[in-house]
Structure 1
Amino acid sequence: MTEKTGEATSKVSLPLVIFSGKTSYIINSFEGEFHTHKGVIDLSKLKDLNYGDEVETHLGFKFKVRPFSLSDFFKHFRKGPTPIMPKDIGAIIAFTGLRPDSAILDCGTGSGVLSAYLAYFCRDGFVVTVEKRKDFAKIARKNFELAGLKNIHQIVGDIFGLADSIKIKFDLIVLDMKDDDKFIPKARELLKNSGYLVVYNPYIDATRDAYFAMLNNNFQDIESFEIVKIDYEHKRAGTRPSTRVWHSGFLVVGRKID
């Protein structure tokens, strides 16, 4: 263990992150062994540490321990299909006023990034996530296991065929899938009164279709927008934008008010 002077310490809790240089891992168990390219770590050694302490591999390499942050999902999850970006996830949470006990339906799991963020944020609620592609669902399942989240319920199948069997009403439904505008009438049926529907789409024409589908299905407070995040690089010569990908997707947000 490392010694710290003049710094408040706290015992570690799960999940946590171990890191060495730019290499880091999410840890969600104090049992068994964890294999890294710098050797094997006995996970039982972690439970008696404080944040900022170090743990050694069997080869003598040291990893430092830090608290888990929600942003670690995006960094450490395996990516298959293009995930919704954190900036857009933040907008979904902010514009729909999610509560810690919210019930959420995520249609189009993809890599599972959005579901994991929402499930972690809504610790007293739950997320039902549906993905029709088995290869995407497999990636997401591994990511959920890594996250150690117990309030995600994963379904593999086509939401169009499954919707009539769902008996739950949701506070939020997110559509990130093909033919999203065609599912909007059913989404309205599955929402609680005052619940929100969010449609995420990378294409502006499809976004327009979703907007008018919400309008035609009597959604209220409809907004259609794009969140742009600009990164900057700072050098002695000056500062300039460094963002390579400016566009990720468009969001349409509407509310069911009967």
Structure 2
Amino acid sequence: MKPPVILARGKHTFLVEKLEGTLHTHDGIINLEELKDKNFGDEVETHLGVKYKILPYRAVDFFKHFKRSATPIMPKDIGAIIAYTGLSPDSLILDAGTGTGMIAAYMAYFNKYGEVVTVEKRKEFAKVARENFKLAGLKNIHQIVGDVLFVAEGFKREFDLIILDMKDDVKFIPKAYEILNYGGFLVVYNPYIEDTRNVYYKMIKIGFRNVESFEILKIDYEHKRVGTRPLTRVWHTGFLVIGRKI
């Protein structure tokens, strides 16, 4: 078994990058050397006798354990992007506005025969994302540091999917239409409804079809003996606008 691995007990999980030293938890101390002789599905005990399950590091763990530099797109929105665009596992994808690298990582994970090009103009954000990609073992991501409004002028291939999570997204929509394959999709993520409205009308004006504007709400529930009630404290995360070049 090679790192990284996840140690889990109930809702509590820890990402282990090296099988050496110790891990201090609220349930006691774990000797990470013990993991070297164990397999996924085995358990390891803290010095207090509390057991943690050993799990492989997978895409489901990205959102919780990626290092953060910017507010990432939520898994519920990432799932909608995959479903509404019919992501093929051999796609060429452009992700403009890398941030933490969340959307690029998920796209690369489910696009295992394809490639993801991700562009971020802030060097400090790009550095954090690069560390996340390396830890996740994702090798089909090509990272570019720069302003996508200028970087895109050098692209020689057309993309199957373009995702924008960036400022000045409206300015890039004409270029996005130009560098998309016929039948390809553009997805724009925005936290504000005014910006979403501007994107929606710009996409229609440029020539995108089947344009949809919506948000996905995920409501968590807690179940107790006395009854069930909503647990979610944050209802809104962002709006999606999706259109197709046809």
**TM tier relative to shorter chain:** 0.7 to 0.9
Indicate how the Cα distance of structure 1 residues 241 and 21 shifts in structure 2: closer, same or farther if over 3 A, else same.
closer
2:121 to 111, 132, 136: 132
1:36 to 5, 13, 23: 23
Asked if 1:17 is matched to 2:6, the reply is yes
Asked if 1:155 is matched to 2:144, the reply is yes
Following superposition, the deviation at residue 183 of structure 1 comes to 0.4
1:50 to 14, 39, 42: 39
1:167 to 145, 151, 156: 156
Query: Quick check: 1:126–1:151 contact (8 Å CA) kept in 2?
Result: yes
Query: Quick check: 2:35–2:44 contact (8 Å CA) kept in 1?
Result: no
> CA separation in 2, counterparts of 1:35 and 1:243?
34
> CA separation in 2, counterparts of 1:23 and 1:230?
20
Q: Which residue of 1 aligns with 2:67?
A: 78
Q: What code does the residue aligned with 2:202 have?
A: A
Identity, in percent, stands at 62
> CA separation in 1, counterparts of 2:111 and 2:214?
24
> CA separation in 1, counterparts of 2:140 and 2:45?
33
Q: What code does the residue aligned with 1:186 have?
A: K
Q: Which residue of 2 aligns with 1:197?
A: 186
Asked if 1:89 is matched to 2:95, the reply is no
Q: What code does the residue aligned with 2:195 have?
A: A
Q: Which residue of 2 aligns with 1:123?
A: 112
Following superposition, the deviation at residue 83 of structure 1 comes to 0.5
2:91 to 94, 97, 102: 102
Runs of 5+ consecutive residues of structure 2 not aligned to the other structure: none
Indicate how the Cα distance of structure 1 residues 236 and 25 shifts in structure 2: closer, same or farther if over 3 A, else same.
closer
Q: What code does the residue aligned with 1:145 have?
A: K
> CA separation in 2, counterparts of 1:181 and 1:15?
39
Indicate how the Cα distance of structure 1 residues 42 and 151 shifts in structure 2: closer, same or farther if over 3 A, else same.
farther
Runs of 5+ consecutive residues of structure 1 not aligned to the other structure: 1-11
Indicate how the Cα distance of structure 1 residues 39 and 93 shifts in structure 2: closer, same or farther if over 3 A, else same.
same
Indicate how the Cα distance of structure 1 residues 75 and 45 shifts in structure 2: closer, same or farther if over 3 A, else same.
same
Q: Which residue of 2 aligns with 1:114?
A: 103
Report the count of equivalent residues.
242
Following superposition, the deviation at residue 164 of structure 1 comes to 0.4
Instruction: Give deviations 1:139-168, integer Å, cap 9, x for gaps.
Output: 211211221111111111110111101112
Asked if 1:225 is matched to 2:214, the reply is yes
Following superposition, the deviation at residue 195 of structure 1 comes to 0.5
* RMSD, aligned α-carbons: 2.6
Q: TM-score, normalised by structure 1?
A: 0.84
Indicate how the Cα distance of structure 1 residues 26 and 161 shifts in structure 2: closer, same or farther if over 3 A, else same.
same
Following superposition, the deviation at residue 71 of structure 1 comes to 1.5
Instruction: Give deviations 1:190-240, integer Å, cap 9, x for gaps.
Output: 111111000000111111111111101111111111111111122222222
Following superposition, the deviation at residue 90 of structure 1 comes to 0.3
Asked if 1:213 is matched to 2:213, the reply is no
> CA separation in 2, counterparts of 1:161 and 1:22?
44
Q: TM-score, normalised by structure 2?
A: 0.88
Q: What code does the residue aligned with 2:106 have?
A: Y
Query: Quick check: 1:101–1:126 contact (8 Å CA) kept in 2?
Result: yes
> CA separation in 2, counterparts of 1:165 and 1:234?
54
Q: What code does the residue aligned with 2:197 have?
A: R
SS at match of 1:83: coil
